[in-house]
Each structure stands twice: as C-alpha cells, then as structure tokens.
Amino acid sequence: MEIAIDASRAASARRTGTEGYAYHLIRALLPLLVEAEHRAILYFNEAPAGGLFQAGPKVRLAPIPFPRLWTHLRLAWALRQERVDLFFTPAHVVPFPYFGRAVATVHDLGYRIFPEAHPREQRLYLEWSTRHNAQRSRRVLADSQATKEDLMRFYGIPAEKIRVVYPGVDPALAPVRDKDKLAAVRAKYDLPRSYLLYLGTLQPRKNLVRLVEAYAKSGVAPHLVLAGKAGWLSEPILNTIASLQSPISDKIHLPGFIAGEDKAALLSGATALLYPSLYEGFGFPVLEAQACGTPVLTAKNSSLPEVAGAAALLVAATDTGEIAAGIRRIVRDEALRAELVMLGKENVARFSWEKAAGETLAVFEEVLE
C-alpha cells in the first residue's frame, strides 16, 4: 500500500512541540512501513535539510513548493495524482479537497478551554481544522486520554474512532553531568549557576503571568529562566516582568529559543522545571525534564497528571499562592527533589517513539483493511 505523509512541519528548522512530534514519529515510523511492505511518500512544502529523512526503494521524498494554500491546493493535487491508499497528517490538516482514507493527529483543544488565550483568527482556524480533521479522518490519533475526551465532548466524535497514542521522548535527552558542558550552555545564554526553568513558547495558555507572580512571592534564591520564543499575546507576560522591582526583576531571564543541542544541558542544570500550564494536550517539557533527571512542578489539569504520573509536584494552575508554595517546597525540600527524579526516570520509560510508531502503524493497517 502507498501511504502519503505530510512531513512539512517535521522539516521545520526550529522544532517545538508539534513539529518535534512530527519529526520523531515519522523517523520511527518509516522503517516499520518498509518492513511491512508499504511504500511511503513524504511531502514537504520546501526541500528538507540534507539527511533529515533517508529516501530509499520504498521511501520517496517529495518537495512540492507552492506560494500559498499549499495544503489545500498543491498537496491535494499531488494526492489526487498519486492516488495514494492512505494519507496521514501528524501536525497539520487533511487537505479540504481530499476525500480518500485519512488519519490525523489532534494534539489538543486548548482553544476551546481557554479561547481568550488565542487571537480570534487563530482560534477560528483551529476550530475549523480540528473539526475537519476529526470528521474527515477514518481514525483520529489523540496524544492523551484527556484529548480524546475533549474530542468526544466538543465534537461528538465516537470513542471507537479515536486512538490514544502517547508520543515518545527525544532519545537525545539524558542527564548531563559534565560541569564544563553545563557551564558552556549557561554562558551561551547568559544564565546564572542556580535557576528554575520554564521551557516552551511564551504565550498565555502557559500561565506565565501567574508563574512570574508566584515566583516573586516565593522568596526563593534560584533565578527564574523563561526559555522559549515569544508567541502570540506574549505582551502581558513581558509587561508583568517589567512591572517587578529590583532585585526580583533582575532574577528573571528571557534567553529566547533554545537550540536542540543545548536542551539537555539546560534542563539538567535546573533546580526544577516549573510548568503550571493552564491546559496541555500532552506537555512534552514535563517528560523532557524527567528524562534529564530534573524534578518537575506542573499543574493538576488536562493531560498533565496523566503524563507526569506520580513523578511531579502538582499544583492548581489558577492559584498563584499554591504555585508559590509549590516553588518554595520544591526548592527547599532536597528529599522531595530526589524522589521526583527517581520516579521521573521510571515514568519516562512508559513513553518511546518506537512504541508510538508501532501503534500508529497498527491504526494505518486497521484503516487499510
């Protein structure tokens, strides 16, 4: 069978959550497709970087550049010409004119839970694209049980149409103990020796205004590093930081986007990861921190308890006082941090891209029957 995959997001030079999901899942999926005697076509909206994916007798890389509406015009035309047996989109949308067999991943429905955290145009597009993916696909992959329940709740998608396939963890992430490597990454981003870390896009859904306010109330010694690119509606976050007085304001750092090769050292050097997000379909930074031996504070909502397991300190995301108390506890309780590190190592073992790819292939073959 011929399986077409939208790999456009996987080729992104700066991969965040969904782009990383597409990249790692496709990489793990390709050898399984070949072994199962399927042929794969990876479609890109621009030529991918050399070595990103390996072409072969059963794997074709197909860059098809197009100036506008790439998915619904150019990709749809290519799928019609190829007459593929199945189309899979891991991080985008099923082309509107495509009516063949399709599988799509839905990562989260945060725009439904917190609509005010998204610009109107973005919210309308997410509303349409998620509904379209859920209705047009023969099967929908959900990152978590929480996302599956949201799809059933908001769109009435039957439970039997949805498969929960947990993503994996970047295999390059592991504890970094080399003091020189840790110091080099701190120097690169101009960071202090002792810091608490948030890692992700700076946007309202991540609850960073409350995190900054809670940090200011906590009175702890480590600095706060908010690492990631500025997303939509990030101004209130930046304004909250600017409103703080010295010395608190001097202890908050905004290093911007973190290169992939620096992520393990940045996580490993942190006293703890602080991730009290308002809503997550999965929450990759929680597992990434656990993979690097870093204790985690996160929120007790959406998929976060499901993903973190027993290996995180959970707080109410909307309670600034509870977040502040959690920060004080995780900083001052060395035994708690050690326990969370141990439990985190066990928890991460539940997730792998090889397992995710095997479960995804099983869904493909179910649809192809």
304 and 357 in one domain?
no
93 and 183 in one domain?
no
222 and 89 in one domain?
no
183 and 120 in one domain?
no
Q: What confidence tens digit (pLDDT) does each residue in 84-128 have?
A: 999 999 998 999 999 999 999 999 999 998 888 778 898 999 999
198 and 49 in one domain?
no
Q: Find the CATH number of the domain harbouring 38.
A: 3.40.50.2000
The answer to whether position 17 is within a domain reads yes
For 71-106, b/e burial (b = at least 16 CB within 10 A) is beebbbebbeeeebbbbbbbbbbbbeebebbbbbbb
Count: domains in the chain: 2
Q: What confidence tens digit (pLDDT) does each residue in 245-281 have?
A: 889 999 999 999 999 899 999 999 999 999 999 999 9
215 and 114 in one domain?
no
Per-residue model confidence (pLDDT) at position 15: 76
The pLDDT of residue 155 is above 80: yes
Place of tokens 């409350």: 210
187 and 103 in one domain?
no
The pLDDT of residue 353 is above 80: yes
Q: What confidence tens digit (pLDDT) does each residue in 213-253 have?
A: 999 999 999 999 999 998 878 889 999 999 998 899 999 99
Per-residue model confidence (pLDDT) at position 77: 95
For 131-150, b/e burial (b = at least 16 CB within 10 A) is eebbebbbbbbbbbebbbbb
The boundaries of the domain holding residue 283 are 179-348
Non-local CB neighbours of 3 within 8 Å, separated by 6+ positions: 33, 38, 39, 40, 41, 84, 85, 86, 87, 88, 364
The pLDDT of residue 159 is above 80: yes
The answer to whether position 121 is within a domain reads yes
Per-residue model confidence (pLDDT) at position 57: 94
The answer to whether position 173 is within a domain reads no
pLDDT band at 293 (very low <50, low <70, confident <90, very high): very high
The answer to whether position 186 is within a domain reads yes
- From 276, 279, 237, select the one nearest 112 (Cα to Cα): 279
The pLDDT of residue 81 is above 90: yes
122 and 7 in one domain?
yes
The answer to whether position 333 is within a domain reads yes
357 and 323 in one domain?
no
155 and 34 in one domain?
yes
272 and 340 in one domain?
yes
The answer to whether position 143 is within a domain reads yes
User: Within 10 A of 352 (CB to CB), how many other CB atoms are there?
Assistant: 17
The answer to whether position 174 is within a domain reads no
pLDDT band at 49 (very low <50, low <70, confident <90, very high): confident
286 and 266 in one domain?
yes
The answer to whether position 172 is within a domain reads no
DSSP 230: B
Per-residue model confidence (pLDDT) at position 114: 85
Of all residues in the chain, the percent with pLDDT exceeding 90 is: 87
